[in-house]
A and B are shown apart, each in its own frame.
Chain A
Amino acid sequence: MSQVDESGLSGQTPAEKPRHKPSRAPRTPMPERAAAVRRSDFEEVAFGYSAEQAQAEANRCLQCKNPTCEQGCPVNIRIKDFIAAIIDGEWTDGVEILKERNALPAVCGRVCPQEEQCEASCVLAKKGEPVAIGRLERFLGDHDLTCDLEHRCTPQIAEPSGKRCAVVGSGPAGLACAGELARLGHSVTVMESLHAPGGVLSYGIPEFRLPKAIVAAEIEMLEVMGVTIECDQVIGRIATVEDLMTEEGYDAVFIGSGAGLPVFLGIPGENLNGVYSANEFLTRVNLMRAYEFPTSDTPVWRGRKVAVVGGGNVAMDAARTALRLGAEEVFLAYRRTAEEMPARKEEVHHAIEEGVEFKMLCSPVEIRGRDGWVTGLVANRMELGEPDESGRRAPVCVMDADFEIECDTVISAVGTRANPLLHDAAPDLELNRRGYIVTDENGATNLPGVFAGGDIVTGAATVILAMGAGKKAAAGMHRWLTDA
């Protein structure tokens, strides 16, 4: 495989290649399972493109001289070139191009918000529908996973540097960082606190959106690259960052522990039985496989009428999971309107298709209960006022405690914050007012040799932004390790 081409943005194609004539066909739809069928099981919603569909879609690409799509990608994938490889039917070349910049293409092809990133920057998006870059990425990522392990695309590994790196957390940031450090020739150990690696990819994102077999297969590739993954290791308890650097002899440490602590609504009734944080609900179902109970051992309360509070991807995941557990009705309460929802359009669309009922301009003020169990969610009626700091129009209450949604389960999906364990892991680490780690542009913290990235630096964000931060920190660590 070629060296990482930092001039990729200028996009050269070999001169001898015949000129590409883009097709004017409409965007190739993603084949999906029918909403009525999929809403009662946990199998994946979208099938993925066939080779024909992928090529038909790739042929829509204009192969722009200046591929603006690539500027929209947080990890600067050479999008134009991998699409060209699909046009030519050279799947392996395409996979290699992807893997230069992204260790987890089958994951990112599924969960990246492409419509806000590469696809938003696609020239075709100005006048019509952009090239389905995410679906093409998934096609190549999946193609790679269908090969035997020894035939899968393995990035070239540099000569061993003799340096040892510890990566705390095996979520998107940690995995991207680990993959990059391994590629650069460093010995890498990833320490995960749960019993399975993947972080939010394992405990948070549901099986029907991101099959756990895909996550496991992509992580297996990192192990082939020489990355060691140790589960059940809670850094902050079993060892501090200083222990890692001194007693355990690591030369550098990356902290990618995520923004793990759930935020609750702060309203009366929140500790009634039947109230879940989205983190707990999704962890029980995804990581602990409660949907297979009693074959698996972890139960989950299966509500008949479920109210989910929030408007992000996690809220959509929780609502759609509740449907699949057999809820008769699932409501989604959000204090703004569908327009302002931070969730991906595709997820909102899927949720509505599957029967989630949206209660917009609805701000919960109390959870009512009887005998310790939830019976309803009382909410204020809101309307949209002037834009706030986020640029979105702020919800303003127009009617106090206006209505009650009858329900037996409430799932709070209103965000997460930094886990206090971090302080025990590294008491001298500089944190900002919200408890997140302060880093410079290379991901370096105030402690020598200690880097950080992902949600623990930015607060809750996306998989790909965390991966971008992990990669950037890996580059910073590499410089630190080789300069020293």
Chain B
Amino acid sequence: MFRIVHTRQISDAVFEMGVEAPRIARKAKAGQFLMVRVAEGGERIPLTFSDWSAEEDWIRFIYMRVGKTTHQLSHLSVGDELADVVGPLGTPTHVEGVGRVAVIGGGVGAAVAYPVARAMSAAGARVTVILGARNAELLVLEDELRALPGVTVNVVTDDGSAGEKGLVTAPLKRLCEAGALDHAFAVGPAIMMKFCAATTAEFGVPTTVSLNPIMVDGTGMCGACRVTIGDQIRFGCVDGPDFDGHLVNWEELMSRQRVYVDDERVADADYQRECSCHK
């Protein structure tokens, strides 16, 4: 069991949770993820580290309340326990020698963008963060990102309620046009990553994306997370989650992410009916 040591509601549907996990905290690296199972009978869901402390033995992750499991998570408090937390999984993000880099975080993708920007900056990169969300309410970790030394932050919202109005691809394109980028790193909804990769491809800027396919075990055992990269089938959990954005088969990824939408609705509806604390 893993004891919860921190909870924070970031926005209406976005939360941060910290758990005591000394072994994981000692090994965590930017870009890696966890598999979390809330309780007996629960599903295993992949969640990316937002922060960790090897000295204080904790790890943190950010999640959006979308289905049954994330609803359950949001109802837990400090002192409660999670049945299982497994990690650190996946290959760490390559942060060395990326030069002038744009780190694009869309929605809860900012949870990954934050440690990646921090690690790249620490490794000597010149980091411009492009933080995007549908509206100001849904912006995640803006203050933390702004507090990173030497990191520039551009905020973009669909409705213009914060920062620039529009899509993250607009400032990304400007950076490309100015010839001010050696590398881009994008994490967020698949559709956003697809368009970021399409934007940088025009300018030949190498682009890493952090994919979020469906996973079951997260350790390479099942292949649910397989993605097509160029002409190769790769596993998101062990070969990724980072891949060359210009080689990803985006249509396939987005189609595969929708396999269980009906089931997820059933599970969530069932839970909402049964859960007495949820009004």
Contacts and interface: CB of A to CB of B under 8 A. Distances in A.
Interface string B245-262: 000010010011011100
Contacts of B223: 261-262, 264, 277, 279-280
B37 interface: yes
A420 B238 contact: yes
Nearest to B42: A297
Given A273-B256, A299-B263, A260 B41 contact: no
B267 interface: yes
Nearest to A274: B259
A271 B83 contact: no
B220 A238 contact: no
A293 B266 CA distance: 9
Contact of B216 (A233, A283, A301): A283
Contacts of A420: 220, 238-239
A193 interface: yes
B270 to A, nearest CB: 5
B224 A280 contact: yes
Contact of A419 (B27, B221, B233): B221
Contact of A421 (B41, B220, B270): B220
A293 B267 contact: yes
Interface residues of B, number: 44
Contact of B217 (A283, A296, A301, A372): A283
Contacts of A203: 217, 221
A143 B259 CA distance: 44
Interface string B19-30: 000011001000
Contacts of A264: 223, 226, 233
Interface string A292-325: 1111111101000000000000000000000000
Interface stretch (B86-94, B103-111, B162-170): B86-94
A294 B89 contact: no
B88 A294 contact: no
Given A273-B259, A298-B43, A237 B220 contact: no
Contacts of A233: 23
B41 A296 contact: yes
B216 A288 contact: yes
A153 interface: no
Interface string B201-223: 00000000000000011011111
A428 B44 CA distance: 32
Contact of B260 (A193, A194, A271, A299): A299
A419 B238 contact: yes
Contacts of B255: 273, 372
B238 A262 contact: no
B41 A295 contact: yes
B12 to A, nearest CB: 23
A135 interface: no
B41 A280 contact: no
A421 B238 contact: yes
Contacts of A193: 86, 217, 219
A299 B220 contact: no
Contacts of A271: 226-228, 233, 249, 252, 256
Nearest to B254: A372
A238 B27 contact: yes
Contacts of A234: 86-87, 89, 219
A231 B85 CA distance: 10
B264 interface: yes
Interface in B86-134: 86-89
Contacts of B219: 193-194, 234, 260, 419, 421
B43 A288 contact: yes
A200 to B, nearest CB: 10
B68 interface: yes
Contact of B222 (A232, A279, A289, A292): A279
B52 to A, nearest CB: 13
Among B42, B43, B87, the one with the most A-chain Cβ atoms within 10 Å of its Cβ is: B43
B74 interface: no
A270 interface: yes
A447 to B, nearest CB: 21
Interface in A191-235: 193-195, 203, 231-234
A289 B23 CA distance: 29
Contacts of A280: 216, 222-224
A237 B89 contact: yes
A289 B44 CA distance: 12
A344 interface: no
Nearest to B259: A273
A421 to B, nearest CB: 6
A297 B178 CA distance: 49
Contact of A195 (B37, B87, B224, B259): B37
A372 B249 CA distance: 13
Contacts of B263: 293-294, 299
Interface in B1-48: 23-24, 27, 37, 41-44
A284 interface: yes
Interface of A: 193-195, 203, 231-234, 237-239, 260-262, 264, 270-271, 273, 277, 279-280, 283-284, 288-289, 292-299, 301, 372, 419-421
19 contacts: A193-B219, A195-B83, A203-B221, A232-B85, A234-B86, A237-B89, A264-B226, A271-B233, A271-B249, A280-B223, A283-B216, A283-B221, A288-B216, A297-B41, A297-B43, A299-B260, A301-B260, A421-B219, A421-B220
Given A195-B44, A419-B238, 7 more contacts: A203-B221, A233-B23, A238-B27, A280-B222, A296-B41, A299-B260, A301-B259
Interface of B: 23-24, 27, 37, 41-44, 68-69, 83-89, 216-217, 219-224, 226-228, 233, 235, 238-239, 249, 252, 255-256, 258-260, 263-264, 266-267, 270
